[in-house]
Amino acid sequence: MIVRKTPTELEKMRRSGLLVWQILEDLKKIVQPGATTYDLERAAERMIADAGARAAFKGYYVPAAGKHYNFVLCTSVNSEIIHGLPSTKRVLREGDIVSIDTGVCLDGYFGDSATTVPVGRISDATQRLLRVTQEALDLAVDKARAGNRLFDISGAVQQHVESHGYSVVREFVGHGIGTKLHEDPQIPNYVDPKSGNPRLKEGMVLAIEPMVCAGKPETQVLADRWTAVTKDGSNSAHFEHCVALTSNGPWILTKP
């Protein structure tokens, strides 16, 4: 069941969304060669506490892993697609890319967003991967309109990504969001005839999150049971926004 939100609820989700945006903006400034992914975790933890919010990921039970997640961030470097675990041992190097994903809960409503940022100077090829993934998200957000269908979103991502020679991950998807971090519907980044294709309605809030591989789409989960990586070792990028469907069109809650 897809829960639709009232304007009052959307205002609450806006506050969570803007907090997540602010956290990611501040974290981007810490990303540089020599920083560790745990430096990001520590800073984010402080920002969430200072805002009087609750971290959405920390303590979240993930059935596929069979355990609770233990960090406020996912930090996924290079061929890591999502769910990379912040670590004092993971030092960022010039030329890397790091996906930073975080969520918060304020006043009972969740916000969730991710971005992938360069570490120092990166190659033109890697820059292009980031640009195309960001563009895929922007195109998908524009399809988040009442009257469209879910596959308009999925298809927009897939078409843009594949027309640039990249591939979209199949095993992980976007999601509805509200009083829970993960609500219906699941939002695949490709058109999957086996999954549902509901009509989109005003008041829905969708966390759209393209995960794009420079090479093949096959994924593998590491022995830590969290970190999802590309099987072929190619780089991967991930961007995510929460979008509310309003009578005025898409409203990106996780961006001012």
Which of these segments, 23-31, 39-47, 54-62, 162-170, binds ligand MF3 (CB under 6 A)?
Answer: 54-62
- Output phi, psi for 206, to 5 deg: -120, 130
Q: Does 101 bind ligand MF3 (CB under 6 A)?
A: yes
User: How many chain residues touch ligand MF3 (CB under 6 A)?
Assistant: 12
Question: In the numeric block, which tokens belong to residue 141?
Answer: 């957000």
Q: How far is the CB of 60 from ligand MF3 (least distance, A)?
A: 4
Instruction: Give the Cα separation of 251 and 206 in Å (integer).
Output: 10
Instruction: Give the Cα separation of 226 and 220 in Å (integer).
Output: 10
Q: 100 by DSSP, 3-state: which?
A: strand
Choose between 126 and 185: whose C-beta lies nearer to Co ion. 185
Contacts to Co ion from residues 199-218, by CB under 5 A: 207
How many other CB atoms sit within 10 Å of the CB of residue 205? 27
Residue 41: contacted member of ligand MF3, Co ion, none (CB under 5 to 8 Å, by partner type): none
Contacts to ligand MF3 from residues 120-179, by CB under 6 A: 175
Choose between 87 and 128: whose C-beta lies nearer to ligand MF3. 87
Q: Rounded to an integer, what is the distance from CA 98 to the centroid of its chain?
A: 12
Q: Does 96 bind ligand MF3 (CB under 6 A)?
A: no
End-to-end alpha-carbon separation of the chain, Å?
29
Instruction: Give the Cα separation of 136 and 158 in Å (integer).
Output: 8
Q: How far is the CB of 189 from ligand MF3 (least distance, A)?
A: 13
Q: Which residues contact 226 (CB under 8 A, 6 or more apart)?
A: 62, 65, 69, 83, 84, 85
Choose between 30 and 62: whose C-beta lies nearer to ligand MF3. 62
Q: Does 183 bind Co ion (CB under 5 A)?
A: no
Q: How far is the CB of 94 from Co ion (least distance, A)?
A: 29
Interface pick for Co ion out of 9, 39, 41, 112 (rule CB under 5 A): 112
User: Peptide bond preceding 217: is omega within 30 degrees of 0, i.e. cis?
Assistant: no
Q: Which residues bind Co ion (CB under 5 A)?
A: 112, 207
Q: Which residues bind ligand MF3 (CB under 6 A)?
A: 57, 60, 62, 69, 74, 83, 101, 112, 114, 175, 207, 240
